[in-house]
A and B are shown apart, each in its own frame.
Chain A
């Protein structure tokens, strides 16, 4: 035990001052921007509900600060040590999801939260599962080895634990979007790790065909009453105006917000749609308010910030010390990319409505804390890379 402590101390001492400042800057920018938009979006409802315009802002600021603290801590922590906790990460992920069955808190009609004892906060196991799967799969893929990755088995074996967690999230927490994200993360990691393209193109094609078939089936279903809420969401997606009073309400109101924003928007704080028309706009629909207040210009700027962030991640992965570190970063890239794409796609009604938050910007404590831990891991990987560079410079 004391050996590990000394080891960690050595490493920390060795790595101090080697952070990737441009990445940190981008993350801090997104966080600050997110808090500003969160306040703008939520103050009206928060005033109405809690008689405190900054109710959501305050809560989110506390989580953000806590997340940043963890991010710094994790970035100083040698990521290679995470390998030792890989199996534990997976077990904890699965365990927390299973804990929902007896202890889950129902909010908004779905059991997705766990009360943390003694604290007035709730934890969303889905967020833990995302990071858990990144840590676990990075190790698992590394263990499989190069040869195995070339085969079909090398693809299927790492997918199994991911799909298992996905199914659990879907069935236990009724959270299909988180299930898709978890599976997509591992899929992305395998796409980078496996040498070929064939099976990925094939799977993408199959998924596409199945999706089209499901939509076709839903639309032509004789009895619309027999459809579950997902079926209705598909119908509302195809014709939001027709369902404007029900499942299409949120979507159509979000579209009104985007459409009324124009090129430069109505100005920060000037959204009309947030005044009760888009319920809980600070959650999944925050991007529509960004479009309304800051216009296309603001929306594309934010998308560019995300592209910049992902580009930074890509650079770190490509210059990582080792395969394991790179895999961790690829996992984080997949996670953030999938979530941003899904969120904006939902808000613009490009895909059917499903609850996905916009990373760093949407309201949500668990989400921001675990995202910042992921950034901490990436920073840790980048430190390793920096150290390599420094060593090379010293040698020459």
Chain B
């Protein structure tokens, strides 16, 4: 081999030379190759010529799916102290891309493992992937929390790193072969205090649409503007990505105080529990509701009505148990929903009952207010001069009007009463007399002045209008007579409370409101809602008299509201006991409209118990004791100090509640202090 071989000479039949004919054949071979190249070149040209336009469009349209919306964060709802009552949390939807998972055999099992780790049923996903091999978008799970997602991503990242460091064979990698899982961000609404202020707040679902309360009334304020991520082609036909950041929604800061609200809900619940199943199976009453309001600004400090529901699970039927069944007109009947009823409830009935559950009794429902309307009748008389403050009335237990014998609260008759005593004893006859003196013209005019029948303008959804339930001056005498003590006209709790505030604060009718401030996502104040005086209802003099009379309701010898007085305080108020329709069923709505302190009213606490679950319902004590309990805790919370000495029994009671005796022992009961709140 080391010697050069003579060219062209074959040895032992082998070949040594690459002959001319071979060279020629190589040229032929290369020519064939060249031919193939030319053919492929032509093919390339044809694809461009024939399909160029269509394919270019196709490529662009495929890119279009890059057009994504980026969700915004709905604003928070906070109470006056900044306690968050409604918030939006970043959550993720887990999206599964079957096509990517099925790309390689090694992907499927690790990916299923990972999905199972996220809490997704393995069998269900496997079935979906098998049945939809080309699907690229399937929401396998909703509302995965930020923490859970982060934990998952960290674990996978660490796993991949470990596998690469250890040089695990690609096919055996557990983490590296997780494919086709991605996360789509979104926000989910959470209510940290579940049923606290449920009717005031309302709730909002996945589409950021509020239902009820503030969530509905302030829907637009709370909502932001979605962002968008999209690709477009610039003039050189290259793909550019652009993102418009989402704009988050604004926050609401309420006048409502979560602490007062929870005190209120605690005692309403206590009442409900106490009377549950007493006279009949069912809740303690159809509704036990309460409004706590700032007398001098119209700010709502608390508002609640049983039955409550969990805002995080508003459609949970369990909350319906014990509610009255509804007739075809959605009016409550005398039978009550049992647990079994819930199980068999039809799909048509569910929304009817849920709507009843979600309805805010304090603003959306109306009823005959009963004797709590009496101070309004008295104020009308005093203000129009048709009733003199020194006038007396004689009550023998009933009065004939239009041929009806209209009975007094006290069947035996209250005898001779002054205006103040009429209020103190809640004498129907005296009030009828007063209304007669006032006349229909004055009476209806002042109904209007006190805003009965009109919306108060409170910033909550679904405020009821009751104008069709309020009579005009063409009404009959018996209508006027019964209206005088709060029967035969309808009002909402918020109308009563807002009107009553004006009676005792010198005649300033404040528009009731729940929102104090609207702030931007970053927390800067965008708008402050100042107290707004809508009108002047009565004079300061009349107001002073009303305060005097209503204090007697609690303190007077014959006062009907004695049980409402919290230990250590002087308060005023008015009881109410109204028979519901149809008459003669012995069903009542009892109430107490209380305010404190008596000398300089700061808050109104109005409690209404709709048909207490008790044999004898016509007793305002159901409401007064609730007002008492609420005031007992709320007044010290508002730094309103006791002005009265406390008895030993009361001291014991206060100790049990963990409340301090703030009475300073001075002889001057007028000395109470108040801090701004």
Selected interface stretch from B54-62, B467-475, B644-652: B54-62
In the complex, the answer to whether B59 meets A192 with C-beta atoms within 8 Å is: no
Cα distance, A258 to B54, chains bound together (Å): 11
With A258-B47, A259-B47, A307-B34 in contact, is A350–B17 under 8 Å at CB? Answer: no
Can you list 18 residue pairs at the A/B interface with Cβ under 8 Å?
Answer: A106-B105, A106-B171, A109-B106, A195-B21, A256-B59, A258-B48, A300-B41, A300-B44, A307-B37, A310-B30, A314-B26, A317-B18, A318-B18, A323-B16, A333-B30, A341-B36, A341-B37, A348-B47
In the complex, the answer to whether B36 meets A191 with C-beta atoms within 8 Å is: no
Interface bits B37-59 vs A (CB < 8 Å: 1, else 0): 10111011101100110111011
Chain A residues with CB under 8 Å of B55's CB are 255-260
In the complex, the answer to whether A350 meets B40 with C-beta atoms within 8 Å is: yes
Is residue A389 contacting chain B, with contact meaning CB distance below 8 A? no
Query: B18's contact among A106, A259, A326, by CB below 8 Å, is which?
Result: A326
In the complex, the answer to whether B48 meets A261 with C-beta atoms within 8 Å is: yes
CB-based A-B contact count at 8 angstroms: 164
Chain A residues with CB under 8 Å of B15's CB are 141-142, 144-146, 149, 193, 323-324
Interface bits B147-177 vs A (CB < 8 Å: 1, else 0): 0000000000000000000010111000000
CB proximity to B under 8 Å, residues A95-149: 105-109, 115, 120, 141-149
Chain B residues with CB under 8 Å of A291's CB are 44
Closest CB-CB distance, B145 to chain A, in whole Å? 25
Selected interface stretch from A17-25, A216-224, A272-280: A272-280
Cα distance, A109 to B63, chains bound together (Å): 29
In the complex, the answer to whether A145 meets B10 with C-beta atoms within 8 Å is: yes
Chain A residues with CB under 8 Å of B52's CB are 259-260, 262
Cα distance, A318 to B21, chains bound together (Å): 10
Closest CB-CB distance, A359 to chain B, in whole Å? 13
Is residue A330 contacting chain B, with contact meaning CB distance below 8 A? yes
With A143-B14, A256-B58 in contact, is A270–B44 under 8 Å at CB? Answer: no
Selected interface stretch from B233-241, B377-385, B436-444: B233-241
Cα distance, A318 to B17, chains bound together (Å): 10
Cα distance, A75 to B23, chains bound together (Å): 23
Is residue A375 contacting chain B, with contact meaning CB distance below 8 A? no
Is residue B134 contacting chain A, with contact meaning CB distance below 8 A? yes
Chain A residues with CB under 8 Å of B5's CB are 322
Chain B residues with CB under 8 Å of A390's CB are none
Chain B residues with CB under 8 Å of A296's CB are 44-45, 48
Chain B residues with CB under 8 Å of A106's CB are 105-106, 171
Is residue B27 contacting chain A, with contact meaning CB distance below 8 A? yes
With A105-B171, A245-B134 in contact, is A273–B59 under 8 Å at CB? Answer: yes
Chain A residues with CB under 8 Å of B239's CB are 270, 272, 275
CB proximity to B under 8 Å, residues A185-231: 188, 191-193, 195
In the complex, the answer to whether A337 meets B26 with C-beta atoms within 8 Å is: no
Query: B238's contact among A259, A270, A324, A330, by CB below 8 Å, is which?
Result: A270
In the complex, the answer to whether B43 meets A350 with C-beta atoms within 8 Å is: yes
Q: A259-B54, A267-B238, A323-B18 are in contact. List 4 more A-B contacts (CB 8 A).
A: A109-B106, A145-B13, A193-B22, A333-B33
Cα distance, A260 to B48, chains bound together (Å): 7
Query: A192's contact among B29, B34, B167, by CB below 8 Å, is which?
Result: B29
In the complex, the answer to whether B47 meets A115 with C-beta atoms within 8 Å is: no
Closest CB-CB distance, A11 to chain B, in whole Å? 10
Chain B residues with CB under 8 Å of A261's CB are 48
Is residue A303 contacting chain B, with contact meaning CB distance below 8 A? yes
Is residue A246 contacting chain B, with contact meaning CB distance below 8 A? yes
Closest CB-CB distance, A67 to chain B, in whole Å? 22
Is residue B330 contacting chain A, with contact meaning CB distance below 8 A? no
Chain A residues with CB under 8 Å of B22's CB are 192-193, 323, 326
Closest CB-CB distance, B424 to chain A, in whole Å? 81
Is residue B526 contacting chain A, with contact meaning CB distance below 8 A? no
In the complex, the answer to whether B41 meets A303 with C-beta atoms within 8 Å is: yes
Chain A residues with CB under 8 Å of B103's CB are 279
Chain B residues with CB under 8 Å of A281's CB are none
In the complex, the answer to whether B48 meets A146 with C-beta atoms within 8 Å is: no
Query: B14's contact among A142, A279, A318, by CB below 8 Å, is which?
Result: A142
In the complex, the answer to whether B13 meets A192 with C-beta atoms within 8 Å is: no
Specify the chain B residue showing the minimal Cβ separation from A295.
B48
Specify the chain B residue showing the minimal Cβ separation from A7.
B2
Closest CB-CB distance, B119 to chain A, in whole Å? 26
In the complex, the answer to whether B33 meets A337 with C-beta atoms within 8 Å is: yes
Interface bits A284-328 vs B (CB < 8 Å: 1, else 0): 000000010000100110010011001100100110101111110
In the complex, the answer to whether B237 meets A266 with C-beta atoms within 8 Å is: yes
